[in-house]
């Protein structure tokens, strides 16, 4: 897939920068790998460290502190980080006082082992321990290594106002849940990010208000599993059944949260990610249909088109139920776009299972997708119970087949936009031409068009007259009524 569509891999390993705070003398170099949740966590970390006298820098040689927010989702993600650590090591020889910290999922997975395996590392901090950074920094300043990988029942950083890193000033992510309880057998996330908990809706609304005040135009509500959002006064999702009757009666679910956001900020565009088919309710779809400012796009990972494989993955639905869900959504929102995550070569996947994946894709014709060969992760239920028995060449071949099919579906979808006029929010300059803007339509497809007199942050109607499989090309025909 073209890079524009790879939401999860945007900003991989870039040095992240934010506005400088007056008077801050220390320099922080921070990079983030993996999902948007990690990028958003890096914004929380930068916010906490701004209070500790740090401003961001893009020059690693000048840094007092180097932080890398890591991803464990596949082996390759971890190898990338190991390579970066070698690079930091070379810099440390020039700048020996520089401290290096590892954050995020790899920190959580490897804990103290990191300090032994990678001598360069001074600091290891898991995703729920960022509030402890000021104390941990004191430890390393005193010459001791510091580790905090405690997972929390209620940490949501609700009251930490994230500073925006590498922001376009137009679109921002707001976390609404942390952790995941789904225990898909292949997935390391429940172990690295802990049990699922939701953030106080009041603090979510407050953060969106701050963004609206700064003229942001689009918010993506983020979580490993947003449909499972449930606020009942705080605490783990799994403890909801033990909550008081009044807490249960006044609980707020995802459909209600989305409705609140869309009502309160009618000029703001809303997106959300990621949805899980087993938790997605039609209430959410009705809320989407009701509000013009909720984008008509759902990232709805399926992982496999075979019911047998889905069962082995501990996904709580069959192939048929997933297809039914898509049908139900399209009945309510005919123009809704979908994207997928897919894994090829999961334990025991036969050629027939693979054909089921291809035929499910054919049924849905996703707008785009994120496709991966299965990578066994230590400690997961699959690693413990199921042999990783599909040879690498077969995984790769199946992956190539689904990528090729996805590309043809993406083209089918982009071609269907030709001749149509659609609202686009301008996010920035096109990567390929400084005479063109880029932005996305409600379905999340990238649209490129000549700049004319329009500005970043404008909502513009664009008539599309050409496309590739990843991008629409057209011309603005005027402002949309959302300006």
> What is the contact surface with ligand SAH in residues (CB under 6 A)?
35, 73-74, 186-187, 189, 224-225, 274, 301, 303, 341, 343, 372, 374-375, 377
- Contact pick of 198, 275, 276, 469 for ligand F3S (by CB under 6 A): 276
Per CB under 6 A, does 219 bind ligand F3S? Answer: no
Q: Which two tokens stand for residue 18?
A: 């934010």
Work out how close the CB of 354 gets to ligand F3S at its nearest, in angstroms, rounded to a whole number: 19
**Piece of the chain touching ligand F3S by CB under 6 A; list 140-148, 176-184, 344-352, 453-461:** 176-184
Nearer to ligand F3S, 231 or 372 (CB): 372
DSSP for 399-433 reads HHHHHHHHHHHHHHHHHTTTT-EEEEEEEEE-SS-
Of the pair 49, 310, the CB lying nearest ligand F3S is at: 310
By CB under 6 A, is residue 300 in contact with ligand F3S? no
Work out how close the CB of 36 gets to ligand F3S at its nearest, in angstroms, rounded to a whole number.
13
How many of the chain's residues bind ligand F3S (CB under 6 A)?
10
- Give dist(CA 179, CA 155) in Å, integer: 10
Write down the least CB distance from residue 178 to ligand F3S, Å: 11
What phi and psi, each to the nearest 5 degrees, are found at residue 333?
-130, 85
Q: Which tokens sit at 482?
A: 């959302």
Minimum CB distance to ligand F3S, residue 11 (Å): 20
Measured between its terminal Cα atoms, the distance across the chain in Å is 32
* Closest CB to ligand F3S among residues 177, 203: 177
394-421 residues labelled b (16+ CB within 10 A) or e (exposed): bbeebbebbeebbbebbeebbeebeeeb
198 binds ligand F3S (CB under 6 A): no
Instruction: For ligand SAH, give the closer residue by CB, 122 or 196.
Output: 196
Q: Do 416 and 461 touch, CB atoms closer than 8 A? A: no
When the beta carbons of 56 and 444 are compared against ligand SAH, the nearer one is 444
Query: Which burial class, exposed, middle or buried, applies to 131 when counting CB atoms under 10 A from its CB (0-12, 13-18, 19+)?
Result: middle
Tokens at 178, concatenated = 């942390």
Q: Reduce the DSSP state of residue 319 to 3 states and report it.
A: helix
Has 184 been labeled as part of a binding site?
Answer: yes
Q: Give me the least distance between CB of 184 and ligand SAH, in Å please.
A: 7
Backbone angles phi and psi of 357, in degrees to 5: -65, -45
If one asks whether residue 280 binds ligand F3S (CB under 6 A), the answer comes out as: no
Provide the minimum distance between the beta carbon of 181 and ligand F3S in the complex, in angstroms, as a whole number: 8
Please name the residues in contact with 337: beta carbons below 8 A apart, sequence gap of 6 or more. 296, 297, 298, 367, 413, 443, 444, 445
- Residue 185 CB coordination number (10 Å): 18
Q: Known binder of ligand: residue 180?
A: yes
Q: Which residues have CB under 8 Å from 308's CB, separation 6+? A: 348, 353
35 is in an annotated binding site: yes
Q: In what order do the strands lie in the sheet with 218-222?
A: 171-175, 218-222, 269-273
Cβ distance to ligand SAH smaller for residue 78 or 155: 78
- Nearest residue (CB) to ligand SAH, 196 versus 427: 196
Which residue lies nearer to ligand SAH by CB, 120 or 258? 258
How far is CA 205 from each of CA 89, 161, 231, rounded to the nearest angstrom? 42, 12, 13
Q: Residue 190's binding partner, choosing from ligand SAH, ligand F3S, none, with beta-carbon cut-off 5 to 8 A by kind?
A: ligand F3S
Tokens read off for 122? 């001074």
Q: Which is nearer to ligand F3S, 139 or 341 (CB)?
A: 341
225 touches ligand F3S (CB under 6 A):
yes
H/E segment holding residue 273: strand 269-273
**CA–CA distance, 51 with 9 (Å, rounded to integer):** 29
Residue 175 sits in the site that holds ligand F3S (CB under 6 A): no
Measured from the CB atom, is 130 or 191 closer to ligand F3S?
191
Distance, in Å, from the CA atom of 113 to the CA atom of 165, rounded to the nearest integer, reads 30
Using CB under 6 A as the binding rule, whether residue 190 contacts ligand F3S is answered as: yes
**Cβ 225 to ligand F3S shortest distance, Å:** 5
Question: Tokens 């047998």 sit at which residue?
Answer: 308
From the list ligand F3S, ligand SAH, none, pick the one residue 332 interacts with, judged by a Cβ distance below 5 to 8 Å according to partner type: none
Task: Please name which of 247, 256, 246 lies closest in space to residue 226, comparing C-alpha atoms.
Answer: 256
From the list ligand SAH, ligand F3S, none, partner contacted by residue 375 (C-beta under 5 to 8 A by kind): ligand SAH
Q: Is 187 annotated as a binding residue?
A: yes
Partnered with residue 201 across adjacent β-strands are none
Q: Binding of ligand F3S at residue 224 (CB under 6 A)?
A: yes
Q: Residue 406: name its binding partner from ligand F3S, ligand SAH, none (Cβ under 5 to 8 Å by kind).
A: none
Q: Which stretch binds ligand F3S (CB under 6 A): 137-145, 160-168, 177-185, 427-435?
A: 177-185
Q: Measured on CA atoms in the order 438, 439, 445, 449, is the torsion positive or negative?
A: negative
Stretch that binds ligand F3S, among 42-50, 166-174, 179-187, 436-444 (CB under 6 A): 179-187
Residue ranges of the annotated binding site for [4Fe-4S] cluster are: 35, 71, 105, 180, 184, 187
Positions in the binding site for ligand F3S (CB under 6 A):
180, 182-184, 187, 189-190, 224-225, 276
């Amino acid at each position: 897939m073209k890079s524009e569509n790879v939401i999860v891999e945007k900003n991989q390993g870039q040095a992240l920068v934010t506005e400088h705070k007056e008077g801050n003398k220390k320099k922080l170099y921070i990079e983030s790998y993996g999902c948007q949740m990690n990028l958003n966590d890096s914004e929380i970390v930068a916010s906490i460290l701004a209070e500790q006298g740090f401003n961001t820098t893009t020059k690693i040689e000048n840094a007092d502190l180097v932080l890398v927010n890591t991803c464990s989702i596949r082996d390759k993600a971890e190898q990338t980080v190991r390579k970066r650590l070698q690079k930091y090591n070379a810099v440390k020889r020039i700048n020996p006082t520089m401290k290096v910290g590892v954050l995020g999922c790899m920190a959580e997975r490897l804990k103290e082992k990191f300090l032994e395996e990678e001598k360069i590392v001074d600091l290891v901090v898991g995703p729920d321990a960022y509030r402890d950074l000021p104390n941990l920094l004191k430890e390393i300043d005193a010459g001791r290594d510091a580790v905090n990988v405690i997972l929390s029942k209620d940490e949501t950083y609700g009251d930490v106002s994230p500073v925006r890193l590498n922001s376009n000033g137009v679109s921002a992510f707001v976390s609404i849940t942390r952790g995941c309880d789904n225990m898909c057998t292949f997935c390391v996330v429940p172990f690295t990010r802990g049990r699922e908990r939701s953030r106080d809706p009041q603090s979510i609304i407050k953060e969106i208000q701050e963004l609206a005040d700064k003229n942001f135009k689009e918010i993506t509500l983020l979580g490993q599993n947003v449909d499972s959002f449930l606020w009942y006064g705080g605490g783990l999702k799994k403890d909801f059944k033990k909550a008081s009757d009044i807490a249960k009666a006044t609980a707020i679910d995802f459909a209600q949260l989305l409705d609140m956001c869309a009502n309160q900020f009618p000029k703001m565009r809303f997106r959300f990610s990621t949805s899980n088919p087993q938790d997605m309710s039609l209430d959410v779809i009705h809320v989407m249909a009701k509000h013009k400012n909720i984008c008509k796009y759902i990232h709805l990972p399926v992982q496999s088109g075979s019911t047998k494989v889905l069962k082995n993955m501990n996904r709580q639905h069959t192939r048929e139920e997933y297809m039914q869900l898509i049908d139900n959504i399209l009945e309510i929102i005919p123009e809704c776009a979908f994207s997928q995550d897919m894994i090829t070569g999961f334990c025991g996947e036969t050629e027939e299972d693979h054909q089921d994946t291809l035929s499910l894709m054919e049924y849905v014709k996703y707008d785009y997708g994120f496709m991966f060969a299965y990578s066994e992760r230590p400690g997961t239920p699959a690693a413990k119970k199921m042999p990783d028995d599909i040879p690498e060449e077969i995984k790769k071949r199946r992956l190539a087949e689904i990528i090729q099919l996805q590309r043809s579906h993406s083209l089918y979808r982009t071609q269907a936009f030709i001749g149509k006029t659609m609202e686009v929010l301008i996010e920035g300059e096109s990567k390929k031409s400084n005479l063109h803007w880029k932005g996305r339509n409600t379905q999340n497809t990238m649209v490129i068009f000549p700049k004319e007199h329009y500005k970043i942050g404008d909502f513009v109607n664009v008539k599309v007259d050409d496309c590739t499989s990843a991008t629409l090309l057209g011309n603005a025909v005027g402002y949309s009524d959302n300006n």
